[in-house]
A and B are shown apart, each in its own frame.
Chain A
């Protein structure tokens, strides 16, 4: 019965993969073009002093109809349906910690000055580590918290016996179990040797849940997509990297530093390539998630922004009239983005499992191992 659910989940994923994959390349191009067109049309005044902070952005809003970069960049506030909520700023400057309730307070205190959008200490020392709580961090937390809450809720149900002795009840519980079984059976056990898979199941499933929720949070109109931030994806990929290297077997390191079965001269070329491959794999992982989420976000903002651009160029009638097209297009894109959000979380988990599985490989027993090697090679080549 449990297997049955996983089997049910499978075609779901499959159906949309090919569609979204082929659409994704289209999306990249469209996003880039729209983005560029948008920017040149918006025409920010050359002398506008843009800052990453709100005060400056507010003055700018009057001159440009939409602010694409402002929507996707990290901020010191979060937007909510009830207005902006300013977040605390924490600075670490040369061994000294400064904390303020928000940016305004930091500037008012006189200890910090604003230089073209970047904060400096009053004596012109740059901030060593900016530990400020930003909008993206808040959405990272929200993603974690939601994943935790749902998992704890499911855990309490399993502890009570629902799902342990009987079939899971309710849509949410069923979806949760389908996802868990899908990740465990198809993603993890498919690429990690079966006897070692249970060790990595909690980690990869947690990562999947967290990334999925961060991606889905980005769909809320006022929310920021945490995974459309390079820092977030890089940190997640860093975790995969650490786990991969930590679980590397002798065979794995042997393949890196002393590739078996090739002449010495080739080894001199191969070893640097393999070492480079260690880093390019998680790097590609981080860029893939980042660029996917970012391009979706840019695209939606750009297409909706066309309403305002058209209004600016041809007047309100054209702008409002054409909005039907743009809103319809955006709705379709939103549906696509839901799938992409889940798909990218799945791909991140899948590739993490592939990398970890590759590192766990013990001596080549069968042809199976060669398949894995081919895949990892492919990744080296692409990066």
Chain B
């Protein structure tokens, strides 16, 4: 049980790092693109939200696994 909690905590931290890097890179790319081409900001924004949503999806699935670990459902 305690190991499950530990695993969940570490897992959540790693998820945060991964999602943070991923979404940060998307934001960087999007802002740079908008600065370069302000007239295309609408399309860039849509693509940015979409991609960020995908990354968030992965992160949240990871978070659910962490919750499962913390709850001890897996073992």
Binding site for B on A (CB under 8 A): 10, 13-14, 17-18, 21-22, 24-26, 28-29, 31-33, 35-36, 39-40, 186, 190, 284-285, 287-288, 291-292, 295, 347, 350-351, 354, 375, 378-379, 382-383
Contacts and interface: CB of A to CB of B under 8 A. Distances in A.
Contacts of A17: 45, 48-49, 52
A382 B58 contact: yes
A10 B44 CA distance: 12
A24 B41 CA distance: 23
Interface residues of B, number: 37
Contacts of B13: 29, 33
Contacts, number: 105
B67 A350 contact: no
Contacts of B20: 22, 25-26
Given A25-B20, A25-B59, A287 B64 contact: yes
A323 B28 CA distance: 37
Contacts of B30: 18
Contact of B50 (A18, A39, A40, A354): A354
B59 A28 contact: yes
Interface in B39-60: 41-42, 45-46, 48-60
Contact of A29 (B12, B24, B27, B51): B12
B9 A33 contact: yes
A113 to B, nearest CB: 25
Contacts of B57: 284-285, 287-288, 382-383
A25 B23 contact: yes
B60 to A, nearest CB: 3
